């Protein structure tokens, strides 16, 4: 279904898992905390069962495109951040050609790039109990548009892929007297201005492995995993 720039994937119904039956010792367990339902050790009246409660997870927004950096960011999010029952929003930005400014535009389903469906399939294969949404967004300024959309959708976390800057670009920034904090550009803008936690992800080289993580408080933190 396409609505106001949203392309919603079919809702993935959350499955309630029954608590496994465990044997209990004949001892007093008053005051203990358990994630399973309490089981009476003495015969007595059966308590009324409560209605199942739907579990609502976090909303993790991942900025995607066909680049290897975006694919690495998605892979990191699936292995290090995404949890059961989370909502994953795959956000694809496209620079607007109209004069409407940073606004969502209605997009036909046939115009959705194929790589977005491939990324959605990857999410569902890695985490079958999450809801995946595809969102196409147009705007004049990429950083501003992404930050505003993350705030609008009340995202819990914003994940972006980050490129390694060339030595020439670093020298140009230094010569121009501009700071290189967070890598500069769109990624740095999102990290510094997002109302939720924003994480920039860059894959280390194959010889070393792991990821370099940049947040508002940390820059290029090496996560070996």
Question: Measured between alpha carbons, how far is 77 from 88 in angstroms, rounded to an integer?
Answer: 10
Cβ distance 3 to 109 under 8 Å?
A: no
- pLDDT per position as a tens digit, 139-171: 999 999 999 999 999 999 999 999 876 556 555
**Exposure string over 63-72, b if 16+ CB within 10 A, otherwise e:** bbbeeebbbb
User: Beta strands of the chain (E only): which ranges?
Assistant: 2-3, 6-8, 59-63, 87-95, 131-139, 157-161, 197-203, 211-214, 221-223
pLDDT for 85? 93
Please report the pLDDT score of residue 51 as a whole number. 56
- Copy the structure tokens of residue 168: 């020439």
Q: What is the pLDDT of residues 79-131, one digit of tens each?
A: 999 999 999 999 999 888 766 555 554 444 557 889 999 999 999 999 999 99
Band (pLDDT 50/70/90 cuts) for residue 180 is very low
Contact yes or no for 59/153 (Cβ under 8 A) = yes
pLDDT class for 4, splitting at 50, 70, 90?
very low
Mapped onto helix, strand or coil, the DSSP state of residue 212 is: strand
- Residue 172 pLDDT: 60
7-16, 106-115, 208-217: least confidently modelled range: 7-16
Give the span between the Cα atoms of 26 and 41, in whole angstroms. 7
pLDDT at 27: 46
Torsion angle of the four alpha carbons 10, 12, 13, 19, in this order, in degrees rounded to the nearest 10: 170
Q: How far is residue 159's CA from residue 187's CA, in Å, rounded to a whole number?
A: 10
The pLDDT tens digits of the residues spanning 60-81 come to: 999 999 999 999 999 999 999 9
| SS3 of residue 44 by DSSP | coil
pTM of the model: 0.66
pLDDT above 90 as % of the chain: 45
Mean pLDDT of the chain: 75
* Of 8-22, 135-149, 156-170, 172-186, the least confident: 8-22
Q: Quick one: DSSP state of residue 112?
A: S
pLDDT at 56 (0 to 100) = 72
Q: What is the rounded distance in angstroms from the CA atom of residue 91 to the CA atom of residue 93?
A: 6
- Name every residue whose Cβ is closer than 8 Å to that of residue 92 and which is 6 or more positions away in sequence: 63, 64, 65, 113, 116, 134, 135, 136, 137
Name the residue with higher pLDDT: 53 or 40.
53
Give the E-state strand segments of 17-86 in sequence order: 59-63
Instruction: Give the model's pLDDT for residue 112.
Output: 83
**Which pLDDT score is estimated for 144?**
95
Q: Which alpha helices (DSSP H) does the chain contain, by range? A: 68-80, 114-126, 142-152, 167-176, 185-193
For residues 134 and 107, give the distance between their C-alpha atoms in angstroms, rounded to a whole number: 12
What homologous superfamily does CATH list for 55-223?
HUPs (3.40.50.620)
| pLDDT attached to residue 104 | 52
């Amino acid at each position: 279904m396409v609505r106001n720039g949203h392309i919603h994937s079919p809702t993935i119904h959350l499955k309630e898992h029954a608590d496994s039956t465990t044997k209990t010792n004949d001892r007093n367990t008053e005051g203990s905390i358990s994630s399973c339902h309490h089981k009476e050790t003495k015969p007595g009246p059966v308590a009324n069962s409560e209605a199942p409660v739907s579990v609502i997870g976090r909303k993790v927004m991942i900025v995607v495109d066909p680049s290897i950096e975006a694919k690495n960011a998605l892979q990191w999010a699936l292995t290090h951040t995404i949890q059961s029952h989370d909502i994953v929003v795959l956000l694809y930005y496209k620079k607007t050609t109209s004069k409407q400014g940073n606004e969502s535009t209605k997009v036909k389903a046939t115009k959705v790039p194929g790589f977005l469906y491939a990324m959605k399939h990857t999410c569902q294969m890695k985490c079958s109990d999450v809801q995946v949404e595809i969102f196409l967004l147009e705007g004049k300024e990429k950083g501003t548009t992404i930050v505003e959309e993350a705030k609008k959708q009340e995202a819990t976390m914003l994940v972006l892929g980050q490129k390694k800057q060339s030595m020439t670009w670093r020298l140009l920034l230094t010569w121009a007297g501009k700071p290189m904090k967070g890598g500069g550009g769109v990624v740095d803008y999102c990290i510094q201005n997002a109302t939720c936690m924003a994480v920039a992800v860059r894959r280390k080289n194959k010889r070393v492995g792991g990821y370099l993580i940049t947040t508002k408080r940390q820059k290029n933190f090496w996560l070996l995993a």
